[in-house]
Amino acid sequence: MTFQNAVEAVNDLSGAYSPGLRALREGDRNRIRCANTRRLSGSVDLDEALRRSHPNDPLWDYGIGWTTGASHQAIWVEVHPASSGHVADVVKKVTWLKEWLKERATPLLDITRENKGYVWLASGGVSLQRGSRQARQLVMAGVSFPVEGLLLGS
């Protein structure tokens, strides 16, 4: 199933699919580069799409579709300040996202790679130490160590 088909199969995301990275806010979109833009298969602004139906939930920011050969993947990107004090917030958000995917968006869960599907994109610099207790919490939650820019296809 393609990323677009998976998004369109989720009732909560009706009308939320956008081609390319158009669903991302401009400042966030500028932090992401693609090695091959033809492999980019769309995006969705989860925060915007789910805000009304989940007003009190810790919403994740974006979903991005990517293809590798015949394989379609969903990559989930959270743009957030990256310091040890924000790890608990990001863990709470990814926990919510995984539960939502499991309960309400299984077509998207089916194309999400568990070990590389959840990316923390720093909204500024990264002030978190690799190997710290907080960095280990991220690993346990399945979230990448925060990065200042994301290169898709690397």
- Which pLDDT score, from 0 to 100, does residue 153 have? 84
* 28-50 confidence digits (pLDDT tens): 999 999 989 999 999 999 999 99
Residue 150 carries which DSSP code? E
Q: Can you give the pLDDT at residue 154?
A: 63
* pLDDT (tens place) for every residue of the chain, 154 residues total: 999 999 999 999 999 999 999 999 999 999 999 989 999 999 999 999 999 999 999 999 999 999 988 899 999 999 999 999 999 999 999 999 999 999 999 999 999 988 789 999 999 999 999 999 999 999 999 999 999 999 998 6
- Burial of 139 per CB tally in 10 Å (0-12, 13-18, 19+): exposed
Tell me the β-bridge partners of 122: 80
pLDDT attached to residue 54: 96
d(CA 134, CA 7): 32
pLDDT computed for residue 116 by the predictor: 85
DSSP per-residue codes, 8-72: HT-GGGTT-EESTTTTS-HHHHTTEEES-GGGEEEEEEHHHHHTTTSTTS----EEEEEEETTEE
Identify the helix (H) or strand (E) that includes residue 1: none
Q: Which helix (H) or strand (E) holds 93?
A: helix 87-104
